[in-house]
C-alpha cells in the first residue's frame, strides 16, 4: 500500500491543518446540531474528501471519544473496510447526469439506514454535475428526510449554483502550510523507520507546491534502503547547488552576457532544466519577500522574476520547453521588451488618413514619399503616424491624388476573391458575378439582371460589407446597386 493511502487521515486528530473546520465539526457532533447539507470547498489536496469521510464516520460512531470516531466500534470498522452501506460516496465527475442523481439518491434516500444513525451521501467533485442533475438534487436538498445528510466537496465552488449553496453549510478549506507538511513527513519518517536529511525534506516540501499528497508521493519515491539523502537526490535529479543558483542569478542581474553560454553548458551536462529554472524562480521570490522593504532597489529582481514566470507558463505549451527561459534571460540582459510591435501595411496607413477629419493636417513631403513606395512594404506603427505635421494642408488634396492614382487599378476579380473569404456570403458573391458591373463617377455600379438578385444584394449588411471591401482594396470607391 502506498504511503499516501496508509497515512490518509482516519480521524480529526490525524487531519493536517484545517483547525477551525475540525473544531467546528466536532462541536456540531457534541451538541447534536448537525444540519442536513454541508459543502467543503476550495483548493485541491487539502483534505476535503478525507474530512467528509471522517465527519460521516463520527456522525455514525457508536462510541465517540472526544467527538472523534473511535475506529473500534462496528460502524467504524465497517466504514474503514468499505462495507458501510449507509455512507454512499458518489463521484460526480463520472455520474454527471440527472439519471444518476435520480437512481443513486432520490429513489433510495427515502429508505431508512440499515445499521447506522444517518444515511450520508458524499458527492465528490460536485461542480461536475449537469444543470439538470443540480435541479434534481435541489428538490431533495430543500426537503430531505430526517435520516439523510449530504456532504458536497468541490474545487470550483463558482460552478455550483447559488440555489445549492444557499441550502448548504459552507466550509472553505485552506492550503496546508510548509511547517505542517514538514511535521507530517517527519511523523511518517518516524513511523516507517526512515532516516531523512532535513535538506531532503525541505526540497520535497518546496517541490510539492505545498500539496501534502504530492509531498508524501515524493517522499516515498526518494526512499532508498530506509534513507532519504539530499546528496542522492542531487546526483540522480542532476540538481544545481543553491550557491551556484545564487551565482547565476547575480550574473543575470549584472547582465553578464557570458551567462547564456554557462546555462547552455549546464543544460548539456544533463541537469533537469525545468527544476533548475524553478529553483531560480523560488530563489528570486524568497529574496524579494525577505527584502520587501527595499523593493525600490530591487526592481531588476522583480523584472527578472516576472520574465521568468511568463517563460515558465509559456514553456508548458512550447515545442521546446527550455526556449522561453533563454528568451526571457536574453530579453532581460539586452533590455528589449518582448512586446509584439504592431506592423501595418501601406493600405492601412491610408485608411487611417482617410478616416481623419478633412481639417487635419499632414506633412506633404512625407506623404509624397509614401505614395511612391511599394504598397506591400510594412512599416512600424510609430513611423505610420509620424507623417502628421503642423502645417495646414487639407487632406482632400492628397485624397484626390490617391484616387487618381488608383482609378486604373480597379479589378473586380480582387473583390470576388475578398468576398470569397466571407464564406457565409457565398450567395452574395454569386449574385454579383451574375450581374453587370462597371465603374462610373467613383462608384462601383452593380446592375442586377433579376429582381431576386437585386433583393439579395441590396441589403444594409451587404452594402456595408461591399463598401468596406472597396475601401480596403481601393480606398475611394462606393457601391451602387441598380436593376
pLDDT of 57 over the 50 cut: yes
Give residue 236's pLDDT: 77
Report d(CA 457, CA 479) in Å as an integer.
11
pLDDT of 402 over the 50 cut: no
Report d(CA 232, CA 222) in Å as an integer.
9
Q: What's this model's pTM, rounded to 2 decimal places?
A: 0.61
More confident residue, 126 or 428: 126
Cell triple for 173 = 478549506
- Mean per-residue pLDDT, 449-466: 81
Give residue 298's pLDDT: 67
Q: How confident is the model at residue 472 (pLDDT cuts 50, 70, 90)?
A: confident
- Mean per-residue pLDDT, 224-246: 83
Check if the beta carbon of residue 291 is closer than 8 Å to that of residue 305: no
Q: Supply the mean pLDDT for the chain.
A: 80
pLDDT of 410 over the 80 cut: no
- Mean per-residue pLDDT, 60-70: 89
From the CA atom positions of the chain, what is the Rg in Å? Answer: 35
Cell triple for 425 = 456570403
Give residue 147's pLDDT: 94
Q: How confident is the model at residue 413 (pLDDT cuts 50, 70, 90)?
A: confident
Give residue 290's pLDDT: 76
Per residue in 174-219, pLDDT (tens digit) is 888 889 999 999 999 999 999 999 999 998 988 887 788 889 999 9
Any idea which residue has 458527492 for its cell? 123
Q: Is 345 helix (H, G, I), strand (E, B) or coil?
A: strand
Q: Judge residue 293's burial from the number of C-beta atoms within 10 Å of its C-beta, 0-12 exposed, 13-18 middle, 19 or more buried.
A: exposed
H or E segment and range at residue 468: helix 460-474
Report d(CA 4, CA 439) in Å as an integer.
79
The domain ranges of the chain are 3-172, 178-237, 242-334, 343-407, 410-482
Task: Considering the domain delimited by 410-482, tell me its CATH architecture.
Answer: 2-Layer Sandwich (3.30)
> How many beta carbons lie within 10 A of that of residue 174, not counting itself?
13
CATH code that applies to domain 3-172: 3.40.50.300
pLDDT of 429 over the 90 cut: no
| Main-chain dihedrals φ then ψ at residue 459, nearest 5 degrees | -120, 160
Give residue 361's pLDDT: 40
Per residue in 163-173, pLDDT (tens digit) is 999 999 999 99
Q: Under 8 Å CB-to-CB from 207, ≥6 apart: which residues?
A: 214, 218, 275, 278
Q: Is 86 helix (H, G, I), strand (E, B) or coil?
A: coil
1-10, 202-211, 413-422, 434-443: least confidently modelled range: 413-422
Distances (CA, A) of 427 to 347, 420, 434, 463, 477: 28, 10, 11, 14, 22
- Mean per-residue pLDDT, 385-397: 39
- Mean per-residue pLDDT, 389-413: 47
Amino acid at each position: 500500500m502506498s504511503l499516501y493511502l496508509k497515512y490518509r487521515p482516519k480521524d480529526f486528530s490525524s487531519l493536517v491543518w484545517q483547525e477551525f473546520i475540525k473544531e467546528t465539526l466536532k462541536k456540531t457532533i457534541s451538541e447534536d446540531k448537525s444540519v442536513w447539507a454541508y459543502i467543503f470547498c476550495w483548493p485541491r489536496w487539502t483534505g476535503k474528501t478525507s474530512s467528509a469521510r471522517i465527519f460521516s464516520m463520527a456522525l455514525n460512531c457508536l462510541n465517540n471519544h472526544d467527538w472523534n470516531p473511535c475506529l473500534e466500534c462496528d460502524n467504524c470498522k465497517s466504514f474503514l473496510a468499505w462495507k458501510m452501506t449507509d455512507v454512499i460516496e458518489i463521484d460526480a465527475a463520472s455520474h454527471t447526469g440527472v439519471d444518476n442523481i435520480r437512481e443513486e439518491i432520490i429513489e433510495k434516500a427515502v429508505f431508512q439506514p440499515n445499521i447506522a444513525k444517518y444515511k450520508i451521501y458524499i458527492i465528490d467533485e460536485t461542480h461536475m454535475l449537469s444543470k439538470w442533475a443540480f435541479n434534481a438534487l435541489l428538490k431533495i436538498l430543500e426537503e430531505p428526510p430526517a435520516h439523510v445528510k449530504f456532504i458536497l466537496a468541490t474545487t470550483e465552488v463558482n460552478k455550483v449554483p447559488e440555489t445549492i449553496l444557499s441550502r448548504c453549510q459552507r466550509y472553505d478549506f485552506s492550503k496546508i502550510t510548509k511547517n505542517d507538511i514538514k511535521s507530517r513527513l517527519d511523523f511518517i519518517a518516524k513511523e516507517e523507520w526512515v532516516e531523512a536529511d532535513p535538506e531532503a525534506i525541505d526540497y520535497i516540501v518546496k517541490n510539492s507546491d505545498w500539496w501534502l499528497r504530492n509531498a508524501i508521493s515524493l517522499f516515498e519515491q526518494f526512499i532508498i534502503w530506509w534513507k532519504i539523502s539530499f546528496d542522492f537526490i542531487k546526483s540522480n535529479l542532476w540538481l544545481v547547488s543553491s550557491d551556484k543558483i545564487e551565482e547565476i542569478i547575480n550574473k543575470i542581474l549584472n547582465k553578464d552576457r557570458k551567462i547564456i553560454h554557462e546555462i547552455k553548458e549546464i543544460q548539456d551536462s544533463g541537469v533537469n532544466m525545468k527544476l533548475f529554472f524553478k529553483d531560480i524562480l523560488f530563489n528570486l521570490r524568497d529574496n524579494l519577500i525577505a527584502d520587501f522593504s527595499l523593493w525600490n532597489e530591487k526592481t531588476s529582481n522583480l523584472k527578472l522574476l516576472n520574465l521568468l514566470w511568463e517563460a515558465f507558463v509559456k514553456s508548458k505549451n512550447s515545442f521546446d520547453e527550455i526556449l522561453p527561459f533563454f528568451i526571457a534571460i536574453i530579453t532581460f540582459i539586452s533590455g528589449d521588451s518582448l512586446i509584439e510591435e504592431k506592423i501595418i501595411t501601406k493600405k492601412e496607413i491610408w485608411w487611417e488618413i482617410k478616416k481623419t477629419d478633412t481639417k487635419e493636417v499632414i506633412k506633404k513631403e512625407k506623404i509624397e514619399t509614401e505614395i511612391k513606395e511599394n504598397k506591400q512594404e510594412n512599416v512600424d506603427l510609430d513611423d505610420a503616424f509620424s507623417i502628421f505635421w503642423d502645417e495646414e494642408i487639407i487632406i482632400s488634396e492628397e485624397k484626390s491624388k490617391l484616387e487618381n492614382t488608383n482609378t486604373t487599378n480597379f479589378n473586380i476579380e480582387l473583390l470576388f476573391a475578398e468576398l470569397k473569404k466571407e464564406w457565409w456570403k457565398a450567395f452574395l458573391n454569386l449574385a454579383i458575378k451574375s450581374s453587370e458591373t462597371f465603374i462610373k463617377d467613383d462608384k462601383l455600379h452593380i446592375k442586377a439582371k433579376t429582381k431576386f438578385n437585386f433583393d439579395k444584394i441590396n441589403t444594409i449588411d451587404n452594402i456595408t460589407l461591399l463598401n468596406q471591401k472597396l475601401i480596403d482594396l481601393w480606398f475611394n470607391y462606393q457601391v451602387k446597386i441598380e436593376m
